[in-house]
Chain A
Amino acid sequence: MLHVLIIVVCAITVTIFIWRRNRDKGQVREASWAIVILWGAAALQIAIARHLPVSLPTDWISMLLEPIYVPIVAWLKGG
């Protein structure tokens, strides 16, 4: 649980920093998106730290492209 606590505290600190820094420059929209991505990153870090199952983007790509790459690789190996 210590991992989670550290990640959450860091994320809150960075969120405050990003918000204040960008608000002063009139970049509210930029700050909002940065905070959304930051909390996504925090969620991923917590998932990794807690050994939760994470769906890998490499698996999504492999699954989508299977009909194309499988015949090509078969040809490369033997055909």
Chain B
Amino acid sequence: MSMRSGYVNNEITSRQVSKLLYLFSVGSAALIVPTATVTIAKQDGWISMLLIVPVQYAIVLVYLALMRRFPRMTIAQYAEFIAGRWIGKSIALTFVFFFFILSTLVLRNMVDFMSKTVLPQTPTWFISGTFMIVILYGVFLGIETIARTGEILYIWSLFVLVIITLSLMNQVHMEFFEPVLANGLITPLKGMYPVLGFPLTECVFLTAILPMVKESEREKLNRGIFGAVAVTGAITTLIVFLLIAVMGSGETTRSPFAVYEMAKLINIEEILVRVEILFAVVWIGTVFVKLSLSVYVLSVLLGQVLGLRAYRPLVFPLCMLIAPLSLIIYRNGVHSTIFAMNVWTVYSVMQGLLVPLLLLLAALLMRKRSRKDGRFPSKEPNA
């Protein structure tokens, strides 16, 4: 593939967007969030995951409403259009910072998982560096390449989930769900808290991806995105349901990567055993998509804030900044748990829901809409 092919590589279909949304939502959250939800909601954690689905619909509706008003602009561009140059740039910079931190945290999650389970003797800087090289290449090639990769990984992730679900059916204990709603609906409502920030409001990445959707595909966009939300809701509910049914809420709360621990329990007549690595491979694939999208959106938004004609020159330096920072972003496991489960939700909700909602309200009140094409030039300047 030509090194310059990414320049014309900026149109995706609605189906690709829905798959990216699914992979981004399930991404790193599939392994970490179920533990957090079950810690709060105990055996009612699966109800929390069901209750979160309408909330995700509402959040996605905000992004779609913004897209209808500014179909070819990213959030950095219409923030400037709505709020004026300097306030708009300040708002866009908060998103740049958000995606920078998000990229760092996602990379750190992946490094923690690899170093604790699969590669315990490999230095963390090596895992972080090698993974970042792949991300760098993916982001450099453009959104279409990431979307096509997502299409492949989507099928695999569903396939592995079906295998794991079927293989665990002989270990389901329905008594682990008792008592159901012992403290009323308040406990499952509390269980929604970590999911709100991680990954629901992180889906604000859509505001930078939706302008890339082909004009002819826009009609199908609503249906595709709502379908992705439904599939994500069903999958995450199924994961939490299985965790509680197989391991019980007590055991689930004790493991930082409970889903991986659950996959270790698969044993069909001593023939089908040790399939957890299959889960790890798929999980790393989904994290790849999530991190690629985060770094892509970060580069695009930063390029637009700085008024550049291309995002590509920024990708390598940003990756060089993300990789070392991911090694020190958390001091230890306790710091990681406290930040990810307590602080991140508030920050993510503010950045991923509150700011877009305020922008939408401002656009509605000021009756602002624009069909200006804000994408980077489709041809390299002096190519």
Contact = CB atoms under 8 A, between A and B. Distances in A.
Interface of A: 14, 18, 22, 24-27, 29-31, 33-35, 37-38, 40-42, 44-45, 48, 54, 56-58, 61-62, 65, 68-69, 72-73, 75-76
A55 B345 CA distance: 21
Interface of B: 40, 97, 100-101, 104, 190, 193, 303, 306-310, 313-314, 316-318, 320-321, 324-325, 327-331, 335, 339, 342-343, 345-347, 350, 380-383
A42 to B, nearest CB: 8
Contact of A73 (B100, B325, B335, B342): B342
Given A34-B314, A40-B321, A65 B383 contact: no
Contacts, number: 99
A52 to B, nearest CB: 11
A48 B306 CA distance: 28
Q: Is the interface of B mostly helix, strand, loop or mixed?
A: helix
- State the main secondary structure of chain A at its contact with B: helix
B100 to A, nearest CB: 8
Given A24-B382, A29-B308, A44-B324, A34 B313 contact: yes
Contact of A30 (B313, B321, B331, B345): B313
Contact of A65 (B104, B193, B343): B343
B4 to A, nearest CB: 10
A57 B321 contact: no
Given A14-B316, A38-B316, A76-B40, A27 B309 contact: yes
Contact of A72 (B101, B308, B331, B346): B346
Contact of B381 (A26, A38, A54, A68): A26
